[in-house]
A and B are shown apart, each in its own frame.
Chain A
Amino acid sequence: MSSIIIGILVTLGTLFVLLSAIGLIRMPDTYMRISVNTKAATLGVGLILVGTAVFFNDLSTTSRSLVIILFVFLTAPVSAHLIGRASYFTGVKLWKGSVVDDLKGKYQKNSYILKSEIDDTPEDNVDHTKLDDDNK
């Protein structure tokens, strides 16, 4: 009975990891790749580690795998936010089908300040729709 539960958990986790790898290949945009991998890979690894905790069924291993799950769940959004912020500021272009860009015109290219409103010096703002192709 326990092996059936472990099999289901590990299979679901592996499918999520595989889907996140396929999403990493198929997604057209850096930001969409960040989004896919933050959610799917984290959930997949969490399910696999829950399967490990069910398999060993003692306190030390369960606490160890729970600590890994907690750590991955805490750090994945932080690292995704940081790398998304860095890639937006370094000028990675959005996909041409993206409709909403909430930070459009709010990041100052020369003073490196992120403002919360569009100010009166629009020539200083980074506009991702008008970037050159070599500025990746």
Chain B
Amino acid sequence: MRHIISLLMENEAGALSRVAGLFSARGYNIESLTVAPTEDPTLSRMTIVTSGSDAIIDQINKQLNKLIDVAAVMDLSEGEHLERELMLVKVRAQGLVCDELKRVTNIFHGRVIDESESTCTIELTDTCAKLDSFLQAIDRDLILETVRTGASGIGRGDRILKL
């Protein structure tokens, strides 16, 4: 089953590779991984999207907690949470094609952030599933580039991951 795990870790050189190394060494899946410093520059927040049986997810949580640099781990998918992913898509688009693309983009609450004579670049922020739907809604042959950040997640309401 798909899980989205959030963690806080020391913003130190090598911390990211400890997490990435753990996943590869123990054969766990990573669908996506995003990381950046928080409002406290000594801490980084990471969101990992992974999948596995309950036993594997339990091990992933424990193994992440065991890393010395990891300060806190929360399996967001165990409760109410929000997740968002940013996607940039460059599409070959002129004339009518471009108009149609803009219409679809509007439906998905995206926006056009760049246009050239032959291309159109769209920015879209939503759940991973919505981004997938957008890609299915446009003509695949027209897509020149797709850039996705992977999901970032946060708990709803009082579900807070903080030191």
B is a partner of A: no
Tell me the B residues contacting A by CB distance below 8 Å: none
Tell me the A residues contacting B by CB distance below 8 Å: none
